[in-house]
Amino acid sequence: MNPTEKALWFVESHLPDAISLDDVAASSGVSRFHVTRAFGAATGRSVMGYMRARRLSEAARKLAGGASDILAVALDAGYGSHEAFTRAFRDQFGTTPELVRAGGSTQNLDLVEPILMDSSLLTALEPPRFETSRPFLIAGLGERYSCETSAGIPMLWQRFGPYIGNIPGEVPGVAYGVCTNADDAGNFDYVAGVEVSEFSDLPNDFYRVRVPAQKYAVFAHREHISTIRRTVNTIWNKWLPASGHEIADAPDFERYGPEFDPRSGNGGLEVWVPIKG
């Protein structure tokens, strides 16, 4: 089992229990950061967001089945009060526990079912090369994303495209998609940018990222850009656990060289993953 499969098993096996991200990571045999990235790459959801949605979905089923005590359902779902449960339930489903119980049906609710992992999502992966990067500066447009909202990243690249070639201090020929400032909830900053010689004279709304000297495992993605998630999924859920390497606390990024055609999405790119050592 890979880290995501282990995390899914642990969450589903302990759904009513008070478990933390540390517990999920320990059950998966990897760090909190690793399980967060691996789970997001494989499922498009954060670990704790998935657990919360699953608990609320099971609570909705109990309510639709006529549960007499809403507070008891709330406590079983991990909420300490009726108010906190109602707030989370409304955020998830757009209605209240009382209305679902009165209606006796979950038909109009977007319930989250258990995720069944499909190993066919994992693509054959070329062995990486290892490089120690020099320190360099990246500047560009950025947004805060979650596992659930990362599908919006291509729109960020569309917005950034007109800037390429017109940025003060730009080092031409290569673009970077940098992931940084990740948290336990699966949120991260993604910057569509280019290397620059310095940060002065940049547009006010530009993100600025300092990439330190760091050892990286570098993976080639030769297929269309639309299949990048399969490559990332394979790195985090198959290659890393088997490699013996540990993730380093540094930005990871996609490197788009001159061979990449942003108009067609063809030409390939590289995925740089920071490792200790």
Q: What CA–CA distance (Å, rounded) separates 195 from 191?
A: 12
Measuring CA to CA, which residue among 255, 257, 260, 262 is closest to residue 159? Answer: 262
- Do the domain assignments include residue 154? yes
For 81, the token pair is: 């009060």
The answer to whether residues 74 and 171 belong to one domain is no
The answer to whether residues 134 and 263 belong to one domain is yes
Region 219-228 average pLDDT: 89
> What confidence score (pLDDT) does residue 93 get?
97
The answer to whether residues 69 and 172 belong to one domain is no
- Per-residue pLDDT for 197 more than 90? yes
- Per-residue pLDDT for 271 more than 60? yes
> What confidence score (pLDDT) does residue 118 get?
60
Q: What CA–CA distance (Å, rounded) separates 7 from 186?
A: 14
- Do the domain assignments include residue 62? yes
Render pLDDT for 120-169 as a digit per residue (tens, 0 to 9).
Answer: 555 678 999 999 999 999 999 999 998 888 878 988 998 899 999 999 99
Higher pLDDT, 18 or 218: 218
| 190 pLDDT tier (thresholds 50, 70, 90) | very high
Distances (CA, A) of 88 to 60, 172, 184: 12, 47, 19
- Per-residue pLDDT for 184 more than 60? yes
> What confidence score (pLDDT) does residue 203 get?
93
Region 51-63 average pLDDT: 95
The answer to whether residues 175 and 236 belong to one domain is yes
- Do the domain assignments include residue 159? yes
Distances (CA, A) of 164 to 66, 119, 194, 199, 224: 59, 38, 8, 15, 21
Whole-angstrom Cα Rg for the chain: 21
Measuring CA to CA, which residue among 215, 216, 218, 196 is closest to residue 207? Answer: 196
- Per-residue pLDDT for 113 more than 60? yes
CATH code for the domain of 25:
1.10.10.60
Render pLDDT for 16-54 as a digit per residue (tens, 0 to 9).
Answer: 888 899 999 999 899 999 999 999 998 989 999 999 999
The answer to whether residues 74 and 157 belong to one domain is no
Judge residue 151's burial from the number of C-beta atoms within 10 Å of its C-beta, 0-12 exposed, 13-18 middle, 19 or more buried: exposed
For 147, the token pair is: 């596992």
Among the candidates 66, 88, 103, a domain finishes at 103
Number of H helices, E strands in the chain: 10, 8
The answer to whether residues 188 and 233 belong to one domain is yes
SS3 (DSSP) at 263: coil
Q: What CA–CA distance (Å, rounded) separates 175 from 164?
A: 9
Tell me the average pLDDT of the chain. Answer: 92
Higher pLDDT, 266 or 90: 90
Q: What CA–CA distance (Å, rounded) separates 20 from 246?
A: 22
> What confidence score (pLDDT) does residue 121 get?
59
- Residues 276/161, Cβ–Cβ less than 8 Å: no
For 85, the token pair is: 């449960």
- Residue-range definition of the domain harbouring residue 60: 3-103
Sheet holding 188-196, edge to edge: 129-133, 214-221, 269-274, 252-256, 170-180, 188-196, 136-145, 207-211
- Cα-based angle 164, 189, 5 (whole degrees, multiple of 5): 125
The answer to whether residues 257 and 204 belong to one domain is yes
Please tell me the total count of domains within the chain: 2
- Per-residue pLDDT for 119 more than 60? no
For 233, the token pair is: 């999924």
Region 83-102 average pLDDT: 96
| 117 pLDDT tier (thresholds 50, 70, 90) | low
Over pLDDT 90: what percentage of the chain? 75
- Per-residue pLDDT for 105 more than 70? yes
> What confidence score (pLDDT) does residue 123 get?
64
Q: What CA–CA distance (Å, rounded) separates 75 from 88?
A: 13
The answer to whether residues 150 and 96 belong to one domain is no
Q: What CA–CA distance (Å, rounded) separates 263 from 266?
A: 8
| 222 pLDDT tier (thresholds 50, 70, 90) | very high
> What confidence score (pLDDT) does residue 122 get?
59
> What confidence score (pLDDT) does residue 2 get?
85
SS3 (DSSP) at 272: strand
Locate all alpha helices (DSSP H) within the chain, ordered by sequence: 3-13, 21-28, 32-43, 47-64, 70-76, 82-93, 97-103, 153-160, 228-234, 240-243
Render pLDDT for 232-264 as a digit per residue (tens, 0 to 9).
Answer: 999 999 999 999 999 999 999 999 999 998 878
